Copies of this chain bind each other. A is one copy, B any other.
């Protein structure tokens, strides 16, 4: 049983956080495009970033900021322009954005974090951003998380939010999260854009460790199309406003907090996979029997990322051969004569031997899985046992549809 409950709200559910989301005119569409997440007190801040060699200015900026000082008061997020591949000018724009927000909030620029999402190679529309700062700050509200979640969206179909509550030493501790991402999502890199707030009191080092471990099992296990963004960023703020005793080392309270953090990240990661561009369903790949957990995660990711598996799921085609093929090329050693593959409750292969199975039934399973309630019953479950060790891991992805091609064939023009 989980040690927490789902509650209403999102990043503004924990104590001491406000948020806002407005239309500043950065997006040609006129949709909301500027978000602010704000903590009333200085919060411990941890970050995980893209490992790409081509990075947005905000990524380099925030990595430096957090290395110098692992705390923050506010996160400014613009959508519309990625500000990646924009050279020196892009860096200057990032610095100016942080300074403008710091002035408006009357805090130090060193307490500001930044994130951008949108078209790579385009600078932020600075004129619109400058004019947007004041109304953005004026919009800050204790229930502003939903607006913030909407203003970070690009090709996302739905906002992605969650809030959980647990008890630590008899006091309620809350955690909330929002995320965006759809297209350009790939494992083994940091992540898309995701923001977690928490009112627990925790030490800087422990909080960063927890976030890194949670990322490995969640955001890094999500794949939509094999591409990794120049802008992937995940921030987690913990401001201590729950007034619980500070958690400074691993133990029952720390484990509870880390489990909740992992649950928040997993929910957001799955929501991102489900909202993959053109997706009609979520795919969950559970791998067991691997030499170790890392290998299991690698195999799960490779299956989740296989264009042929994704196309087959879109076609509601129980093509286990493609699953076996993807498992085989993941770079993990195993004996193919031990391989077990299940699709829902249908065992398709056992001991490396293909089984006769109810093909229309398995195809129906795929059809039904894709028609269920969003993020509840629309999950296609693929289980693979390598029969080699005790390592296990899970990855999430989505199917590959005509719409993926349509969306990505005309994004800039």
Contacts and interface: CB of A to CB of B under 8 A. Distances in A.
Interface of A: 50-55, 82, 84-89, 119-122, 183-184, 186, 189, 225-230, 305-308, 311-312, 314-317, 319-322, 324-330, 332-334, 336-337, 339, 349, 351-354, 359, 363, 400-402, 404-406, 408-413
- Copies of this protein in the complex: 2
23 contacts: A55-B328, A88-B353, A89-B353, A120-B325, A121-B320, A121-B324, A121-B349, A184-B308, A189-B329, A225-B307, A227-B307, A230-B321, A307-B404, A311-B408, A312-B409, A312-B412, A314-B405, A315-B410, A315-B413, A317-B413, A402-B402, A402-B405, A404-B405
A355 B189 CA distance: 28
A355 to B, nearest CB: 10
A105 to B, nearest CB: 31
B405 A53 contact: no
A186 B302 CA distance: 13
Contact of A325 (B230, B316, B402): B230
Given A54-B328, A84-B321, A308 B408 contact: yes
A330 B188 CA distance: 12
B87 A337 contact: yes
Contacts of A402: 402, 405-406
A328 B53 contact: yes
Contacts of A363: 413
A84 B307 contact: no
Contacts of A349: 85, 121
